[in-house]
């Protein structure tokens, strides 16, 4: 994609977010946009930054670490939205400003032990039956939240999920409703839910963080893990 299109794409996504917020009767500015920059070259990410974007999402630790020296921009914050493998937890704990995918007590303890200051985290809850999806079981979320709140170097902000992918955003709505209920039960503020194909529906159901990549940067080439 020509980097010149990114600013206009970003403006369109922001307009759609504002419209969804208004339809839902929510306060302006109540939804944060995380531009999913994973796999895209630094010049494309910089085009979004130059257009005012400051929150970015990545899901491959090694790839991000290799690109990071070219993306040292004032005010940019980096959210990890992929599965944290235990052998890469140390790098994740140091490289990212927030981790959306804490899915086990073991991972929470490891991250806590790797930090000296509080790292904002979200609990990833697996609500889909798809085997490829990761996350804590819905029945385990409350226990995990209790444990994380005892850890001095983790700051529990909320919950995150990935529903089954579908061209029809209504397929995701029940999953968003379930995550909102879990967040209410846990007494947390942030709901990280909604991507390019369903973020407006997610906003209608209470999302406070939407993770949008394709609508901003275009389709990415598939890469090997």
Domain locations in the chain as residue ranges: 4-217
pLDDT tens, residue by residue, 86-125:
899 999 999 999 999 999 999 999 999 999 999 999 999 9
Look at the alpha carbons of 197, 65, 132, 184 in this order and tell me if their dihedral is positive or negative: negative
For every residue of 164-184, DSSP letters joined together read PP-SSGGGTHHHHHHHHHHHH
pLDDT value, residue 132: 81
pLDDT value, residue 221: 64
Burial class (CB in 10 A: 0-12, 13-18, 19+), 61: buried
pLDDT value, residue 46: 97
Residues in CB range of 168: below 8 A, 6 or more apart: none
Residues in CB range of 150: below 8 A, 6 or more apart: none
pLDDT value, residue 86: 87
Counting DSSP H helices and E strands in the chain, the numbers are 9, 9
What percentage of the chain has pLDDT greater than the value 70?
97
pLDDT band at residue 225 using 50, 70 and 90 as cut-offs? very low
Topology of the domain comprising 4-217: TIM Barrel (3.20.20)
> How remote is the C-alpha of 101 from its chain's centroid?
8
* DSSP class of 84: -
Neighbours of 77 (CB within 10 A): 12
Neighbours of 96 (CB within 10 A): 22
Find the mean pLDDT for residues 1-21. 92
pLDDT tens, residue by residue, 157-197:
999 999 998 999 999 999 999 999 999 999 999 999 999 99
Which residues are registered as beta bridge partners of 36? 57
Q: Find the helix or strand (DSSP H, E) in which 157 lies.
A: strand 154-160
What's the pTM value of the predicted model, to 2 decimals?
0.94
Q: Is the pLDDT of residue 1 over 70?
A: no
pLDDT band at residue 224 using 50, 70 and 90 as cut-offs? very low
Q: Find the helix or strand (DSSP H, E) in which 58 lies.
A: strand 55-58
pLDDT band at residue 129 using 50, 70 and 90 as cut-offs? confident
Neighbours of 16 (CB within 10 A): 16
Pairing of strands 209-212, 32-36: parallel
Phi, psi of 169, deg, nearest 5: -65, -20
pLDDT value, residue 145: 98
Q: Is the pLDDT of residue 223 over 70?
A: no
Which residues are registered as beta bridge partners of 1? none
Phi, psi of 61, deg, nearest 5: -65, -50
pLDDT value, residue 124: 98
């Amino acid at each position: 994609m020509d980097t010149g299109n990114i600013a206009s794409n970003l403006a369109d996504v922001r307009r759609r977010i504002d419209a969804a917020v208004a339809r839902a009767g929510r306060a302006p500015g109540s939804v944060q946009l995380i531009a999913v920059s994973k796999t895209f070259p630094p010049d494309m990410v910089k085009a979004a930054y130059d257009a005012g974007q400051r929150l970015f999402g990545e899901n491959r630790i090694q790839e991000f670490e290799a690109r990071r020296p070219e993306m040292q921009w004032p005010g940019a914050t980096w959210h990890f939205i992929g599965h944290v493998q235990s052998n890469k937890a140390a790098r994740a704990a140091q490289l990212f400003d927030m981790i959306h995918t804490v899915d086990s007590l073991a991972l929470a303890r490891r991250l806590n032990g790797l930090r000296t200051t509080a790292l904002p985290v979200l609990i990833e809850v697996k609500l889909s039956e798809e085997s490829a999806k990761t996350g804590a079981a819905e029945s385990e979320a409350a226990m995990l939240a209790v444990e994380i709140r005892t850890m001095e170097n983790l700051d529990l902000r909320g919950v995150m999920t990935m529903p089954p992918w579908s061209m029809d955003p209504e397929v995701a709505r029940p999953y968003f409703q379930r995550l909102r209920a879990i967040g209410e039960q846990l007494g947390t503020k942030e709901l990280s839910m909604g991507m390019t194909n369903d973020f407006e529906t997610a906003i209608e159901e209470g999302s406070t963080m939407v993770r949008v990549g394709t609508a901003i940067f275009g389709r990415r080439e598939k890469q090997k893990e």
